[in-house]
Structure 1
Amino acid sequence: MKKIQLLALLILTSLSALAQVAKSPNGKIVARWDKNKLVVCYDGKMMTEISDFGLQTSDEDLTSLTFVNIFDGKEFEVNYDMIEGKKSHISKKGHGYSMLFHNAEGKKVEVALQMFNDGIAFRYETRFARPTVVKDEQTRYLIADGTRRWIQKYTDAYEQFFPLATDGNDANTHWGYPALVEPQQDAFALFTEANIESEHSASSLDNAGQRDQYRVTLGRSDKQVSGKWHSPWRVVMLGTLKDIVASTLVTDVSKPCEILNTKWIKPGVVSWIYWAYNHGSNDYNIIKKYVDMAVTLHLPYVLIDAEWDEMKDGYTIEDALKYSLSKGVKPIIWYNSTTGWIDGAPGPKYRLNDPEKREKEFAWCEKMGVSGVKIDFFDGDTQATMEYCIDLLKSAAKHHLLVNFHGATIPRGWQRTFPNLVSTEGVYGAEWYNNRGDLTSRAAAHNATLPFTRNVVGPMDYTPCTFSDSQHPHITTDAHELALTILFESSLQHLADRPESYLEPKRKVEQALFGYLPTTWDDTRLLAGYPGEYVVMARRKGQKWFIAGINGKDEKQTLKIDLKALNLPAENYILVTDAGKGLDLKSQIVNTHDLPAAVECSARGGFLIIPQGM
């Protein structure tokens, strides 16, 4: 009898141990509960530990949770199409689990855990019997000292650099997503979140007190929730750099598209009025120059930026819109969200905050032929701001308006749920040549870091490709700048430079590219690269591949190009490289079979391989 009981105990112990391990469909990613921590491994290598599961609410103690077990769920499939982004169709498998916790009073809190071949996602799920406010979270990620990492300091607008570091920083303890780390050689983890809903605030990371423990910390919320509730998904992408760059985890776990008719959503390239003048959109004659540039370069859009409500010389915004439409160029106009920077900030202001005024304003936009709105200066990651952004997206969709959020938080999956969100700033971009001098010396390395960090999680309105100088000079080469239009994904790609720069007679290749440049992609592959040093990327539109690379260093560098996996069709390509002197570029027509296996780039240089016409 004792032998039978012992055997039964051993079987139960074995089953319990088995149930405490979660695996990705291909088995490469494993999450194992061990000593009050979820240990996450990739390819047999420990990548991070997730600990201190718990929530801080206004009237319930959910901070001291006791782990019960991991319950095996089932495999599932994710299949959906994207209008924008790095890939047009996503089809992949996942494996779902449920981690069960109890608080001191026996209340059940579940953590849904989804395992994919490119990472994991988890979220809290519980039920509140009475209204409560979710104040904060205590989930922590281990990022050990000595680990290479690229994380930006937290600011409301997510406009900071991603410098390489190897340990926590005592001078700063608040960090913004996404956070890229290399816990093991050639094995990376990228931390972010997804599926923010109207009752959520967004989160960031804080390692105050424990340098190697990065706590998920929530933005301010005063909203009461009750009944069934879940948090946003906490996302950890895992794998090689190629896996990280190609990952679609942020949209995989976000709500499906809520817009019934999306045929009116048309991505494209935009001429942007601001960078050259630091103003300009209150001047009708300057607006005309950018509309005319769009016509010459065959661009579908023009963006009329701030201060259009204060047009000079007797003109109005209606005059500018009529001129643009008469030339066949679709106008996009700017608004102040009137939640972040208000006093001293440009207008128009206070037109979108009230729902009735917003509907009236967007109805006017639709009537006047406006195709989209750029909305700027938001109040960080608060719940109120998240709800406001969602309301803006829904209202804009009713009036067939594209939306570009600036001075705003990074994308967290709304580009799937509301595909009229065509771009988001949330990046230290070319606009900063207007504001400070530090981008001049840091741009090359910064640009070679963004494809591995910020742009992984969603569209990025960097406003690239500046050949001339603004208030502060640039020292990246012309080939480097042109490569950014392919390396940086944004379904509205805003060209930042002045018309006379793009329209120089010597820029025939650049002008031709702008006319057929895709801004959304069917596939994206990292061919080679390392954050801050260099990047070589291939993006496909239809059957055509566009390849671009940049050198992030202040010295010459030869970039290898592995084209074997692309199966390029036999056709002519334009090979664009550094000219070898100054910042200029040179170009030549090359057949597929003669494409180089490597390109020597100047310091801060770049190259492109683009189809000869589309």
Structure 2
Amino acid sequence: MTSPNGKIKVLATTHGLNVDCGNVTVARITRLGITPQPDDTTALCILGVGKPTTVKADYYMLSGKKRHCTNQANEYRLNLGKSPSQGLGITLIVRLYNDGLAFRYATNMNHGTMRGEQTTFDLSQGTPRWMMKWTDSYEEFYPKTTDGWSQDNNRRWAFPVLTNPHSGVWTLLTEADIHDYNSAACLYNTQAPNLYRIVPDKNDSLVSGPWMSPWRVMIIGSIADVVESTLVTDVAPPSTFTDNTWIHPGMVSWIYWAHNHGSKDFQIVKQYIDMAATMHLPYVLIDAEWDEMDNGGNVEDALRYAHEKGVKPLLWYNSCCGWVNGAPGPKWRLNAPEKREKEFAWCEKMGVAGVKIDFFGGDTQPVMRYCIDLLNDAARHHLLVNFHGATLPRGWQRTFPNLLSTEAVYGAEWYNNRATLTNRAAGHNATLPFTRNVVGPMDYTPCAFSNSQHPHITTDAHEVALTVLFESALQHLADRPESFLQKKYKQVCDFLGTVPTTWDDTKLLTGYPAHHVVMARRKAHTWYVAGINGTDEKLGLTVDLSSLQLKGRHTCRLLTDGSLSFKKVKPLNTRTVKCAPRGGFVMIIE
């Protein structure tokens, strides 16, 4: 089985698949199979491979790393059975794209369940990998290792997984297209350090009729191929929304980073509304505990004040399917359909532009169905959605274009909670563009110049660069008004009031996880180039603009660690930008 350009090839063995890129094997899938019971260890045989068909897609995204997405794949259907003579009516659908591989299981169900899976990847010891140990909030680090059993005896791993199986060849493993009868999955390597089995979370959903697993997606190629790929949304179903004119991405002023309980205080909320108006940010987020707001006004007063200032408000809700006892509110307003309808109708009436919904309870099928119900019901009331304390985005941003961001990241919020991020932030920030942010929007809440509960030691230019490096259609700015509005940050504030949060194109110019990254993103005729140093040493970052194919006359402005203003510089195809330890830069090419 081959990709359209012949670069990626898959050989079907008796029980699995061998995946080659060029002339080297980049992945071995040693076991295949799905089972009604999670403890059934039956591996299935491949009984035959059908002739390929061509799959083509040409679509536009309202958010993300690339607006116009095109792709082509060769699709094969493989019959699976318990033995060469015993078929089971289970099909493995395999698609080979020029930048990767996707496969899923399909069968017909008769009021039954499908709880287990035997898909196993053999990731040989010694292969560099960047993996996050699983947590229900997906808020952890992606440390580099070459040994599957080297980290705190952990045996459960989250998507995505980045590997570097051969020099110049990279893979990123994840999943996409979660239906409401699916649970999401993770990886376990309990049997051997090199054998990673896909394990769906709890799922007791009874299905009658056609059933499909989520796509198991492997992006393959150079590190730039991985970062720039849209394969996760390529395999996701298109949206059925008939009207998207109300969906508007943008920057958001955000209260929680500086004031954990600030949304209880009407006067503090007003400061963040004023900040958004002054900086020309379209949105303000009124965070947790707004249902307890006092000190001169309540939430309805705050909503009216935001509209008077020309700022669109977003409101926080507790999903009440994860952390409930001891957690902030408002609570229990979204769980029951009739209560959710009442609440979303009130939001629409009050001019609320969107909702941030927090504290989900992992990857189980009921949680996945709840997320899909929230997205559909929010859309009927013209509400944007930002999921927090939630699962990884798995292509929903194409199917539900009102999903503009998802947390699922160890972000700047953690400066509130522990001192851990202080010394790890620079390397972590330089890893996320190669891992978490490849698969979808990431609400890291970047750009802080002052400190929260625990200090940050990244430079100001590093912080500004994150607003370009990190893709999120709702980009929440972490710092407090009195910090942003200092005279020395005047040009930075002007930039933050105009920088896009969705992109027409994205190019990785150079980088290596945890060390450095330089990325270029285009909006219309303007390129925004940002780079960060993930190390504690001075570093010169090479900026090669030749891949941008710049034509005609253009101007170039540069903000670096040495200056908080954008200075006009001579347009050059290649330059070296000197970065301080944990530093960065932003370049604007018009």
Identify the TM-score tier after normalising by the shorter chain: over 0.9
Q: 1:42 to 1:469 in 2, by over 3 A?
A: same
Task: Note if 1:131 corresponds to 2:103.
Answer: no
1:225-261 residue CA offsets vs partner (Å, 9 max, x unmatched): 1222111100000001000001101100001012110
Q: 1:59 to 1:596 in 2, by over 3 A?
A: closer
Task: Note if 1:368 corresponds to 2:350.
Answer: yes
Which letter maps to 2:397? Q
- Of 63, 66, 76, 1:84 maps to 63
Q: 1:60 to 1:303 in 2, by over 3 A?
A: closer
How far apart are residue 465 of structure 1 and its match? 0.4
**Residue number in structure 1 paired with 2:582:** 604
Q: 1:447 to 1:56 in 2, by over 3 A?
A: same
Distance in 2 of aligned mates of 1:61 and 1:245: 36
Say if 1:570 and 1:592, in contact at 8 Å, map to a contact too.
no
How far apart are residue 600 of structure 1 and its match? 1.1
% same residue: 55
Say if 2:13 and 2:46, in contact at 8 Å, map to a contact too.
no
How far apart are residue 314 of structure 1 and its match? 5.2
1:435-467 residue CA offsets vs partner (Å, 9 max, x unmatched): 010100000000000000000000000000011
How far apart are residue 60 of structure 1 and its match? 12
TM-score (norm 2): 0.97
Distance in 1 of aligned mates of 2:574 and 2:192: 49
How far apart are residue 62 of structure 1 and its match? 8.7
Q: How many residues align?
A: 585
Distance in 2 of aligned mates of 1:24 and 1:193: 19
- Of 112, 120, 123, 2:101 maps to 120
**Residue number in structure 1 paired with 2:502:** 520
How far apart are residue 34 of structure 1 and its match? 3.0
- Of 155, 159, 177, 2:159 maps to 177
How far apart are residue 51 of structure 1 and its match? 2.2
How far apart are residue 72 of structure 1 and its match? 2.2
- Of 307, 315, 339, 1:333 maps to 315
Distance in 1 of aligned mates of 2:193 and 2:39: 29
Distance in 2 of aligned mates of 1:281 and 1:103: 58
Q: How does 1:307-386 map to 2 (within 5 A)?
A: 307-313=289-295, 315-386=297-368
Which letter maps to 1:570? R
Which letter maps to 2:197? R
- Of 193, 199, 206, 1:224 maps to 206
Q: How does 1:431-580 map to 2 (within 5 A)?
A: 431-568=413-550, 569-579=552-562
Task: Note if 1:57 corresponds to 2:36.
Answer: yes
Distance in 1 of aligned mates of 2:295 and 2:70: 55
**Residue number in structure 2 paired with 1:167:** 147
Which letter maps to 1:312? D
Task: Note if 1:158 corresponds to 2:141.
Answer: no
User: Structure 1 regions of 5+ residues with no counterpart?
Assistant: 1-21
Q: How does 1:170-319 map to 2 (within 5 A)?
A: 171-313=153-295, 315-319=297-301
Say if 2:176 and 2:217, in contact at 8 Å, map to a contact too.
yes
Distance in 2 of aligned mates of 1:314 and 1:223: 48
- Of 73, 80, 89, 1:108 maps to 89
Task: Note if 1:409 corresponds to 2:391.
Answer: yes
Say if 2:79 and 2:87, in contact at 8 Å, map to a contact too.
no
1:279-309 residue CA offsets vs partner (Å, 9 max, x unmatched): 2011111111101111111010000000000
Distance in 2 of aligned mates of 1:231 and 1:355: 26
Say if 1:59 and 1:132, in contact at 8 Å, map to a contact too.
no
Task: Note if 1:42 corresponds to 2:21.
Answer: yes
Distance in 2 of aligned mates of 1:577 and 1:296: 24
Task: Note if 1:67 corresponds to 2:46.
Answer: yes
The DSSP-based 3-state class of the residue aligned with 2:141 is coil
TM-score (norm 1): 0.93
User: Structure 2 regions of 5+ residues with no counterpart?
Assistant: none
Q: 1:57 to 1:357 in 2, by over 3 A?
A: same
